[in-house]
Structure 1
Amino acid sequence: MFKRKWSALPADVKFPSNLKGLGYFINKDSEVRSIENEDNYFKFFINRNLRVCERQRFAMNHEIHKRLNDLGLCKLSLPLPASDGTPPLASVPIFASASIREKSRVVIIFGETHQDLGVLAHRVIGGNGGIDKGSLVSVVKALLQQQCSSMDPTPPGIILANMGELIWWPEGERTLSKSAFDATPMRSAAHIGNYIDAKVNRVPGNESPVAHVKYIFETVVSTLVDSNAGLDIIGLGDGADVVESYWNCSATWDRVGSRINCFASVGGQFPAWEVKCDGLQDFLQDRTRAYVPSDEPLGSVLSGPSGNPLTSTFTRLGCPVFSAGEPQHVETLFIASHLTVLDWLQEVADISASGKTYKNPMFVSIYSDGPDEDNWGNLGVEEMGCADGREETGADVSPPVTITRDDALRMDSTAEIAQK
């Protein structure tokens, strides 16, 4: 009988832990380029074994965190330290503004559940666009140019939740995403993978994305944010779905809903028929906007809260739906649309600060993916906005936004938005 020793197994692949050691540098445009040939971007697919590729990219996020720190964000560990100041052994990092307690408005961003902290799209970070564009660095810079409201000229506070890095890696004393955890060293290249032990590799109170969202709203906000400050929430991809699922309970909504100014769902797919909480239904209709993949220009109205049956894009989200200006990849939606999303957040904050109650305008749209010209006359105009017979007393409601038939025909079934 043969016995194979551990030493006989092929060794796990190793790479340097910095860009220079990997053969790359960051140019003046914040793009990762090859030292050997400056025309070449970061090359991820260096091997047919995907784990080898992941191992190479394992230490790529250090530069992002450094830049966020330079913008005034501090890295905090969850669970928050106990009253005696003792930090927990296993912890999840997040970023928050250093002066967050002084802010009258705080923007909380929940990213996708498979992305590292601060990352939007590695395809952009390591390629055309660079580190700032492919991460939340660009978003934080834009937020720092805003003001809390028309009554408070200081920039809003910022919290960057960590929806992806929830697996504790004891050897590295840090949490990782699932793909990064799979890229940590193994005993040999022949091992099938790294085993996740719930007792060893999970962080108390932040064991899953849902638990992390709950901890942010019920512990982090109550501890770090002023009780009178309003909250603007941005959810990216499936992170937006997790946030809505947490809110989708009357007891939870009664506890946290009154503090939320507005919600931007960027790439979320939480269906309207799954919403069981009445308070959340009204909130989605009045103070939520969804931005989805589309070939239409950024900001084009695709649907009102009741959905649009004339498009193949899923629009039954319970809120007005807009084009994010990106036709395909969910992870790049916020890169394309973040300035438009942040402008809407600012609009809501300014109206609320003036003493008025913000409500989405009523959207009337005949947008379609592209029916035959002869069928346009049979489409009709479907009212898909927030006006459903409810009273609008005290609300600041804009005039209806519509797309005319002539506009649609002239643009070859491409909707052009006109404000009446």
Structure 2
Amino acid sequence: MFRRIKPIEHREEVDFPADLKKLGYFINSQDQIRQISKPSEGFDYHVHKIERINERRREAMDECIRRVLDTRLKEEGLTKHYFPPGSDPTTDPCVPILISDDLDDAEKVLVIIGNTYDDLGVWSVREIEGPGINHGTMISTIRTAKKENFSLVVLNCGQNVYSPEIGRAVTYRSWKAATKPSPHIDEVRNRVPGHENVQKHVESVLGEIKERLVGGGGKKGKKIYFLTYGWGCWGLVKYMNKNFAEWKSNIEALIAVESTHTAADVTSSDLRHFLTTRARAYIVHSDPPGTFIPDKRFICQTFSTAQIYSETIIPNAWEKVMLPWFKRVEEDPEGCNPVILVDWESVEKLNEEWGGHNNSVARPNDAGDPNKWAFEENDLDENFGEREHPFDQNGLEDMVDLRDAEQAAKANKALQENERPGTAGSDGLKEMGVVRGDLTAL
């Protein structure tokens, strides 16, 4: 038995103005938020011994950032659209997304789907602190994408709690700071119909704008590129696993950053083939950006980013690693992902602890282009072809990136007949277009 000795102290909430100057901050010439009294120092969260006060003060700072970001997004030609369609944002539960004003006239579209804990248009609060606001938000991403003639659609997986008191959809962090220390979320009152979670949000938005993207009714479809992060990618994969047939003629490529999807989420053979040939995963890893990492989780080639926080990957790798690969897909869609043969048995022996393999077989061929690869002869196991069981029968497509449906069919037929395809130099792999020469000529 427990008994309360001292009654709970109920403190009055402390309010902070959503005004940078009144909070004691300003934006310097490097686009960084700095203290007025200490111009070399950024935001200081721990200013009070009571955590609740720190929490509410941080929320006031976040609101300042949101207002700055809203202004800059408008300047970039992106407008908020509220879902469900026809909602009045002043009175109705709804979720905002961003759509470029030139979407209907564009030939290429970049669809951005972020994670579940960030405000609309934000990648990383840590990167907003430094290098700066544009870098930590999607402003830099949007500007470089526009230079490559992309129109944009930005989904909103983070602001998934509707607050009648605040009058808009917010992140859980904002909800908690603005309401009470331990808020209860009413699954009816505090959710937006059709956007109760990530999967439903992706389904609702893509279902609504599908005609504007893939065409129909005489409209010409667009080339669609997806840039996804975390649970946002999981929501997309779940949606495409059911609806890929309606989109596959328009989707050019997919980038998945620290995604939570796995092979178990993909049952569509067409989607599996697309992920194998037109998708790339980027993960937290210490190797140089763009280094190939043996990883079977995502059904696509996986690469390092030299980042220790998942939220900093896109701000730091988008322009130098990811965008150049999108351009490569546009130039050579059939050869944008090199065929890479991975000896998973050796990888698993070397990879005793979870999280990576630093002695990667593939490394950048050109320091200026991390999307080009070279394989050294001594990196390949000379005795590979002499092994009795060089392949795992259940994981062939995870080990070899098959270029087209015909090759995939040949591999599947071999597996169904319990025939192992042989070795890197055998007729079996030659028939699938995978030979030692492919590895050294990328």
Instruction: Output the CA distance in 1 between the equivalents of 2:174 and 2:335.
Output: 42
Residue 210 of structure 1 and its aligned partner are, at CA, apart by 0.8
Residue 194 of structure 1 and its aligned partner are, at CA, apart by 2.4
2:82 aligned to 60, 66, 77, which one? Answer: 77
Paired residue type of 1:321 = T
1:67 aligns with 2:72: yes
2:293 aligned to 302, 311, 321, which one? Answer: 302
Gap change, CA 1:19 and 1:333, over 3 Å in 2: same
Residue 56 of structure 1 and its aligned partner are, at CA, apart by 1.6
Q: TM-score, normalised by structure 2?
A: 0.74
Residue 196 of structure 1 and its aligned partner are, at CA, apart by 1.7
Instruction: Output the CA distance in 2 between the equivalents of 1:34 and 1:262.
Output: 42
Gap change, CA 1:63 and 1:99, over 3 Å in 2: same
User: What's the secondary structure of 2:224's corresponding residue?
Assistant: strand
1:321 aligns with 2:302: yes
Deviation sequence 1:328-377 (CA, Å, 0-9, x none): 2111111221111122122223446xxxx566220246786357xx9996
Paired residue type of 1:114 = Y
Paired residue type of 1:296 = D
Does the 8 Å contact 2:339/2:403 carry over to 1? Answer: no
User: What's the secondary structure of 2:249's corresponding residue?
Assistant: helix
Instruction: Output the CA distance in 1 between the equivalents of 2:303 and 2:117.
Output: 24
Map residues 22-61 of structure 1 onto 2, 5 A cutoff. Answer: 22-47=23-48, 49-58=50-59, 59=63, 60-61=65-66
1:391 aligned to 401, 406, 410, which one? Answer: 406
1:347 aligns with 2:328: yes
Q: Is 223-232 or 60-69 further displaced after alignment?
A: 223-232
Q: Is 201-210 or 106-115 further displaced after alignment?
A: 201-210
Paired residue type of 1:121 = S
Instruction: Output the CA distance in 1 between the equivalents of 2:298 and 2:441.
Output: 23
Paired residue type of 1:145 = K
Deviation sequence 1:5-63 (CA, Å, 0-9, x none): 99x93101211112112111001111000011101111123345544333222213221
1:237 aligned to 230, 246, 260, which one? Answer: 230
User: What's the secondary structure of 2:235's corresponding residue?
Assistant: helix
Deviation sequence 1:53-89 (CA, Å, 0-9, x none): 332222132212221211111111111227xx99971
Structure 2 partner of 1:139:
141
Does the 8 Å contact 2:113/2:157 carry over to 1? Answer: yes
Does the 8 Å contact 2:339/2:438 carry over to 1? Answer: no
Structure 1 partner of 2:152:
158
Paired residue type of 1:57 = R
Instruction: Output the CA distance in 1 between the equivalents of 2:438 and 2:11.
Output: 63
Deviation sequence 1:162-215 (CA, Å, 0-9, x none): 0010111112221101111001144xxxxx522222232111221211111001
- Higher RCO (CA < 8 A, seq sep 6+): 1
Paired residue type of 1:256 = W
Q: Is 216-225 or 194-203 further displaced after alignment?
A: 216-225
1:333 aligns with 2:313: yes
Instruction: Output the CA distance in 1 between the equivalents of 2:305 and 2:329.
Output: 19
Does the 8 Å contact 2:287/2:358 carry over to 1? Answer: no
Structure 1: runs of 5 or more not aligned: 147-154, 187-191, 308-314, 405-417
Paired residue type of 1:387 = L
Q: Which has the higher helix share?
A: 2
Does the 8 Å contact 2:328/2:336 carry over to 1? Answer: no
1:218 aligned to 166, 187, 207, which one? Answer: 207
Gap change, CA 1:144 and 1:375, over 3 Å in 2: closer
Q: Is 85-94 or 290-299 further displaced after alignment?
A: 85-94
User: What's the secondary structure of 1:391's corresponding residue?
Assistant: helix
1:255 aligned to 221, 246, 268, which one? Answer: 246
Residue 143 of structure 1 and its aligned partner are, at CA, apart by 0.4
Instruction: Output the CA distance in 2 between the equivalents of 1:300 and 1:40.
Output: 35
Instruction: Output the CA distance in 1 between the equivalents of 2:39 and 2:132.
Output: 14
Gap change, CA 1:86 and 1:28, over 3 Å in 2: closer
Instruction: Output the CA distance in 2 between the equivalents of 1:23 and 1:342.
Output: 38
Paired residue type of 1:107 = L
CA-atom RMSD in angstroms? 3.4
Does the 8 Å contact 1:231/1:261 carry over to 2? Answer: yes
Structure 2 partner of 1:179:
173
Instruction: Output the CA distance in 1 between the equivalents of 2:301 and 2:160.
Output: 32
User: What's the secondary structure of 2:97's corresponding residue?
Assistant: strand
Residue 118 of structure 1 and its aligned partner are, at CA, apart by 1.0
Instruction: Output the CA distance in 1 between the equivalents of 2:318 and 2:437.
Output: 23
Structure 2 partner of 1:360:
337
Q: TM-score, normalised by structure 1?
A: 0.77
Gap change, CA 1:402 and 1:76, over 3 Å in 2: farther
User: What's the secondary structure of 1:239's corresponding residue?
Assistant: helix
Paired residue type of 1:129 = P
Structure 1 partner of 2:367:
none
Residue 391 of structure 1 and its aligned partner are, at CA, apart by 3.1
Instruction: Output the CA distance in 2 between the equivalents of 1:225 and 1:92.
Output: 23
Residue 302 of structure 1 and its aligned partner are, at CA, apart by 1.5
